[in-house]
Amino acid sequence: MRHVIAGNWKMYKDSEQARKYFQELGSRAAPDASRVEVLMFPGFVALGSLACQGVVPSWVSLGAQDVSSEPEGAFTGEVSPSMIRAAGGTFVLLGHSERRHVVGESDALVRAKLLNAVQGGLSPVLCIGESLKEREEGRVREVLFRQLDSALAGACITPAMRLMIAYEPVWAIGTGVNALPVQIDEAHALVRERITELLGPGIARDVPILYGGSIKPANFAEIIALKSVDGGLVGGVSLSPVTFMELVTMAAG
């Protein structure tokens, strides 16, 4: 399976900064598309401004960092799947730890968003992961299964929806402390086991499982070499086109 490298800009970069970033990315040789797929998740405003500028290289797919649980209506401040698609987004992050733990999104809301996203034609990247306390209490399996079950049980997921799972342990996000290979392997095996039960082996086999949390060029070779890792979801290091491309090159290698 080819690797996936996804950048999550979080609440960084306005429209002009995004334009410059993609101009710089576009000046580089395109990576081998048979070996690596590249996704980028700008903020909504930058995403909207990029649609018709022609600066985003054709080898980068765009996505949104969040989506409403409703298709349309009187929901002030929300953004619908069709708005994201109109802005050129084809993917969406769901259940990112900052939305679960900072904004306070529940498992139920993440599920509603996921169902709305796929009904609206977006490909979901479902983010899951345990907190440090949950890990220390030996509850990794329980937490990952709960997050997967609540989002996916009974959902009709087809291959065309291109579901991806991102395992992002909360304690590794933005801390400089990445999970160890053995911890990643264990967690990804749990994810693969559960999505096989939830979605069936035919679908689950092809769902990429990405790792996220303090990925940088210095630790990425070891992480992407793991058989259980289909790619990476990158925060801080995706903000520079130079370091982001280093990761893309490593993933294609």
Give the active site residues.
Answer: 96, 168
Closest approach of ligand 13P to the CB of residue 246, in Å: 14
**Is 173 a binder of ligand 13P (CB under 6 A)?**
yes
**Is 208 a binder of ligand 13P (CB under 6 A)?**
no
DSSP code string of 199-232: H-HHHHTT--EEEESS--HHHHHHHHTSTT--EE
Q: Are 209 and 165 in contact (CB under 8 A)?
A: yes
Nearest to 208 by CA among 227, 182, 181: 227
Closest approach of ligand 13P to the CB of residue 213, in Å: 5
Closest residue to ligand 13P in the complex (CB): 235
Question: Of these, 207, 234, 245, 248, which contacts ligand 13P (CB under 6 A)?
Answer: 234
Question: Of these, 95, 129, 236, 241, which contacts ligand 13P (CB under 6 A)?
Answer: 236
Question: Of these, 3, 4, 5, 8, which contacts ligand 13P (CB under 6 A)?
Answer: 8
Q: 241-252 and 15-26 are packed helices; what angle lies between their axes, rounded to 10 degrees?
A: 40
Q: Which is nearer to ligand 13P, 196 or 251 (CB)?
A: 251
Residues 212-231 that bind ligand 13P (CB under 6 A): 212-215
Q: Binders of ligand 13P: how many residues, by CB under 6 A?
A: 14
**Is 233 a binder of ligand 13P (CB under 6 A)?**
yes
**Is 39 a binder of ligand 13P (CB under 6 A)?**
no
Within 13 Å, how many C-alpha atoms sit on residue 17's CB side? 12
Which range of residues in 140-148, 180-188, 223-231, 233-241 is near ligand 13P by CB under 6 A? 233-241
Question: Tokens for 185?
Answer: 């392997």
Residue 149 vs residues 124, 126, 143, 145, 248: alpha-carbon distances, Å: 15, 12, 10, 6, 31
Residues 46-85 that bind ligand 13P (CB under 6 A): none
Q: Which is nearer to ligand 13P, 83 or 94 (CB)?
A: 94
Q: Which residues bind ligand 13P (CB under 6 A)?
A: 8, 96, 168, 173-174, 212-215, 233-237
